[in-house]
Amino acid sequence: MLDPIRHPRLLRLRILWERFKARFVSSDPGQAEADRQLSAFYERVWREAAGQIRATVIDLGNHFLEIRLGNRRTRVWHHNTEIDHLAGHRLVRTKGLMHRLLAAQGLPTPRHVEFQLDDMRRAADFLDEASGPCVIKPACGTGGGLGVVTGIRTRWQLAMAAWRASRWGDHPIIEEEIKGDNYRLLYLDGKLLDVVKRQPPSVVADGISTIGQLLDCANRERLEQRAAVSHSQIGIDLDVETTLARQGLSLRSVPAKDTCVRLKTVINDNSSHENITAWDELCDDILGETAQAVSYSGLRLAGVDIICADPGRSLQESGGVILEVNSPPGYFWHYHKRNGSFPVALHVLRALFALPDEPNGNGAAADTPGAPQPLGV
């Protein structure tokens, strides 16, 4: 097979063909509706949280809300708030830099290499030397699994995944793929609020339908549940292709009845049934490692993503890693779990307005006259 690294013109032709095809594929109306439902989810949780501290909510338009308590105010947009500064947000989203900074603190992070789309030799060498599959993702500026592809084993997969990742950022990064379960730990002002084990999106075969048909059915059910099951649609992307291929399947396959088929390895498109409260699974050593990562990031509110195969031992001992420190962390996984719900927005508002975690009475600050003032955090 031709090596795209050694034949860049062939690769450019393939990319032009992919772009040509993409121009004739209309945007998914299902995802547009899922986006509207996600906006409604965030508006609901902020209004509920504001009501619990007796604050008022002003709709500024375009999904911006102003929350007023006495003469103070703060503004939110989805999960974006004034609790952390932009520099901290940009720092943790610069993945290669954050990996290096955490590693310098003795914290385990994935082996990785950053590279440019027009020179993938370093990435190809990394892939050739890796003992298992690799992950391609944008090196900076993104979150939510955008542009991430797992299961990379061949140079053609590397080239196509790198092109897709570069559409979301200025250049890609290749990382070793770590085996184990994915956990999200949510920290606020140094305190661990919630731990969620996030399992990848999957479907159960009926013995009749193709995987593509099962995927379409799952997406329709998500829309019908109006963000109670998932905040997104399961898009058919390269991660779907590589994940199915590892199981010897494709979208046209008809698995045996009751077979559980993993659709993606990237977990961001999973459902509430695949989120599990996991406070009691992680040992104290892991909690210490993740708390250290948050402290070094300088963030007040942070979601730490880890992968580990043995949650009873430290990441360092078990071969687990800190994948990312996220800012701002998404709230959906904490509200929609198989076994409970955690009110993130309420805790964030209490922190923004400097209210106690366990407020006396109604928890609201005394009203004072004057125009609402920004919090200045």
pLDDT tens digits, one per residue of 113-133: 999 988 889 999 999 999 999
| Residue of 171, 178, 192 whose CA lies nearest to 323 | 178
**pLDDT digit string (tens) for the chain, length 377 residues:** 567 676 666 666 766 666 665 555 444 668 889 889 999 999 999 999 999 999 999 999 999 999 999 999 999 999 999 999 999 999 999 999 999 999 999 999 999 999 998 888 999 999 999 999 999 999 987 777 788 999 999 998 999 899 888 887 778 999 999 999 999 999 999 999 999 999 999 999 999 999 999 999 999 999 998 878 888 999 888 999 999 999 999 999 999 999 999 999 999 999 999 999 999 999 999 999 999 999 999 999 999 999 999 999 999 999 999 999 999 999 999 999 999 899 999 999 999 999 987 644 433 433 333 445 555 43
Please enumerate in sequence order all residues whose Cβ is within 8 A of that of 330, keeping only pairs 6 or more positions apart, or say none: 79, 143, 144, 231, 303
CA-closest candidate to residue 130, choices 88, 85, 175, 63: 175
> Which residues, other chains included, contact 343 with Cβ-Cβ below 8 Å and sequence gap of 6+?
45, 48, 49, 335
* Domains of the chain listed by start with CATH number: 178-200+269-341 (3.30.470.20), 204-264 (no CATH)
Query: How do beta strands 172-176 and 134-138 pair?
Result: antiparallel
Q: Which residues contact 313 (CB under 8 A, 6 or more apart)?
A: 283, 285
Question: Is 0.85 surpassed by the pTM of this model?
Answer: yes
